[in-house]
Amino acid sequence: MFKRIVVPIILLGCLLINLTGCGGAKDTIKIGLQGPMTGDYAYEGKGFQNALNMLVEQVNAAGGINGKQVELIVEDDAGDPTQSALVAQRLVDAKVVAVIGAYNSTATEPASEIYNEAGILHVTPSSTAVRLTTKGFPRFFRVCFLDDRQGLFAAKFMQEVLGAKNVGILHDNSTYAQGLAEETKHYAETLGLTVGFYDAINPDDQDFTPILTKIGAANLDAVYFTGYHSQAGLLLKQSAELGLTVKWVGGNAANNPVMVEIAGIKNAEGVFVTTEPLPKDLNYPEAQKFVADYKAKYGEEPDSVWTIMAGEAFNVIRIAMEQTKSTDPATLAEYLHTQMKNVNGLTGPILGFDEKGDRLGTIHVAYVIDATGNFVLYEKQPSP
């Protein structure tokens, strides 16, 4: 009896719950959020959701956008490309006009094709892979910055803040570090710096004496190392042992306390790291308000820059809708491409978007390691 009757009834019951899950349609502006609510990146997905729930509540309390309430539809892609394609189709079926997401580039890519075909405005807060905007999708934007912008920032930082004329660049042959090193070299030369040293170490190397000797002989003002934190720690330690006085700057792969642990605090003190800032270090009134509201609502500050970036994605969509008095994705995309210039965003000024949909400018900042071995925001930053 149990098997034949009870089990099917339970199953049917579950199905019914599922089918009645969709609510009635009102005259609202539907905006989708796609992100990893479960899985390895669940922390970031929850940050997306928190940020957007808060902003949508604020907007609705203030009367909505163009007099219409905003309805946020959240879908979980678990950071996985298959689930991403599925939830993207769910959002298309739910008739959203714009989607914010996904978190990682691997999940954003299949979804972006589906949104492109459905003609939906798609803004990713955090997928930085260069290839995403090379497909000619007219309604795809990102409010984060491409990987190559860090190279520009590092070159500017060394020139403007450190006053360097002759710089060295060192990478570790990994795809990411090599790419960043090449971009930095390109921008450094464009800015008129001399790249007096450009070389690579291998990811397994432990003894850097030969390469450090070359760096010492090259008479450099600063060296930018784009590799990962453990080797950065060893480099700093051995550099101090050899008595080098050159200024070290690390990329965001070095932004890890392990680097200080390996190098020792006295060798790491005064070393710079270029990276995306923590939300609390964003020195703009809009960012400070976001962080304060977030803390008031959820009891903790947002730890990830991508949380505030998700808010920025919503912000950009809201501004476009208010300025064009429209929710038509084509009109919104047109506005973002051509007319949105120098708007104060949550994450600093939004200079605009280029024809591919990439945000202009950069968000990277320089941190310095203080006498206690902590990363603190450096008081001088290059011009934006």
Partner 1 sequence: MNLSWLSRFRERPWLWQSGLILFAILLPLPLGDYYRTVAWRTVLYIMLGLSLNLIVGYAGLFQLGHAAFYALGAYTAAILNLQLGIPLFWTFPASILVAALFGFLITRPILHLRGDYLAIVTIAFGEVVRLALVNNIFGITGGANGLSGIARPRLLGLEFRQPIYHYYLVLFFLLITIFAMRRLENSRLGRAWLYVREDETAAEAMGINTTQVKLLAFVLGSGWAGLAGALYAARITVISPDLARFMESVVMFCIVVLGGTGSIPGVFIGALGMVTLPELFRPLKDWRDAWLGVTMVVMMIARPEGLWPSRRVQLELQESEAPHG
Is the distance from CB of 346 to CB of 316 less than 8 angstroms? no
Q: How many CB atoms lie within 10 A of CB 363?
A: 22
Instruction: Work out whether strand 365-369 and strand 272-275 pair parallel, antiparallel, or are unpaired.
Output: antiparallel
Based on the shown chain and the rule CB under 8 A, indicate whether residue 76 belongs to the binding site for partner 1: yes
Of the candidate residues 5, 61, 62, 131, the single one contacting partner 1 (CB under 8 A): 131
In this structure, what DSSP letter does residue 221 have? S
Nearer to partner 1, 32 or 279 (CB): 32
In this structure, what DSSP letter does residue 339 have? T
Is the distance from CB of 183 to CB of 148 less than 8 angstroms? yes
Based on the shown chain and the rule CB under 8 A, indicate whether residue 75 belongs to the binding site for partner 1: yes
Assigned token pair, 31: 């905006």
Of the candidate residues 57, 60, 68, 113, the single one contacting partner 1 (CB under 8 A): 113
Nearer to partner 1, 135 or 266 (CB): 135
Based on the shown chain and the rule CB under 8 A, indicate whether residue 1 belongs to the binding site for partner 1: no
Of the candidate residues 47, 81, 233, 311, the single one contacting partner 1 (CB under 8 A): 81
Q: How many residues bind partner 1 (CB under 8 A)?
A: 33
Alpha helices in the chain (DSSP H): 7-19, 42-61, 81-93, 105-118, 148-156, 175-190, 209-217, 229-241, 257-263, 265-268, 285-298, 305-324, 329-338
**What x-and-dash track marks residues 6-45 binding partner 1 by CB under 8 A?**
-x------xx-xx--xx--------------xx-------
Among the candidate windows 113-121, 142-150, 275-283, 366-374, which touches partner 1 by CB under 8 A?
113-121
Based on the shown chain and the rule CB under 8 A, indicate whether residue 177 belongs to the binding site for partner 1: no
Under 8 Å CB-to-CB from 247, ≥6 apart: which residues? 162, 164, 221, 222, 223, 270, 272
Based on the shown chain and the rule CB under 8 A, indicate whether residue 53 belongs to the binding site for partner 1: no
Based on the shown chain and the rule CB under 8 A, indicate whether residue 2 belongs to the binding site for partner 1: yes
* DSSP assignment string, 63-125: T-BTTB-EEEEEEE-TT-HHHHHHHHHHHHHTT-SEEEE-SSHHHHHHHHHHHHHHT-EEEES
Based on the shown chain and the rule CB under 8 A, indicate whether residue 89 belongs to the binding site for partner 1: yes
Nearer to partner 1, 175 or 372 (CB): 175
Under 8 Å CB-to-CB from 179, ≥6 apart: which residues? 147, 148
Footprint (CB under 8 A) of partner 1, residues 230-269: none
Based on the shown chain and the rule CB under 8 A, indicate whether residue 110 belongs to the binding site for partner 1: yes
Binding residues for partner 1, per CB under 8 A? 2-3, 7, 14-15, 17-18, 21-22, 37-38, 75-76, 80-82, 85-87, 89-90, 92-93, 105-106, 109-110, 113-114, 117, 129, 131, 175
